[in-house]
Homo-oligomer: A and B are copies of this chain.
Amino acid sequence: MIEFAEYGFKLASTNRIVQAAGIGKGMLFYYFKNKLELYNFLVEYAFACLHDDVAQMEALSDSDMIERYRKLNKIKMTGYIKHRSVYEFISRMYLNEDEAALSEESKRCFSMLTQKHAEVIEKIYFTADVSLFRSDIPSDKIIRYVRWAMDGYTQDILRRVRGKKTSEIDFAPYVEEYETYLSDLKKVFYKN
């Protein structure tokens, strides 16, 4: 997944894969008919990995948008840390959708995830309790400001932990910091 995430299907090298995996070339083609079959296997495996995370996201039900966003981002971040390569592998799929001939099953997984993600995001907007928002700014813009702040913070964090090993990352301070941002956002965008 690391190789495919970095190079995409076409430019990924099976030689590098077996080298990084520390196995002989033969093994790869003993267990997988060819490069594409390996890729399809990984796609399905990757989506299976995310199953639990997605289920958690779907279960979110707070009407307070910021509260819901906070939980969503928490799931995303811990998920990213837990299966970093899986996340990056799938992100890559969204960039070059058609560079590999995906199996039907893979396509199914892919479109299902896309749809679910859209649903989660949509639910956040549509079920947001806009009566909590200050009334002198359109609610859709407030939603956007919050999203930008959340995304920006997430990006900042990921930038800071890039290169570090998952095990040596201490998340406590980030979570704490995160809370202060959320309370700020409530302060400026909610009533009172």
Contacts and interface: CB of A to CB of B under 8 A. Distances in A.
Interface string A140-177: 01001101110111000000000000000000000000
A87 interface: no
A145 B149 contact: yes
Contact of A187 (B11, B136, B149): B136
**Taking chain A's interface residues, is the majority helix, strand, or loop, or is none over half, making it mixed?**
helix
A187 B189 CA distance: 10
A188 interface: yes
Contact of A189 (B136, B148, B188): B188
Interface of A: 11, 134, 136-137, 141, 144-145, 147-149, 151-153, 180-181, 184, 187-189
20 contacts: A11-B11, A134-B188, A136-B187, A137-B184, A137-B187, A137-B188, A141-B180, A141-B181, A144-B152, A145-B149, A145-B184, A147-B152, A148-B151, A148-B153, A149-B149, A149-B152, A151-B152, A152-B152, A188-B188, A188-B189
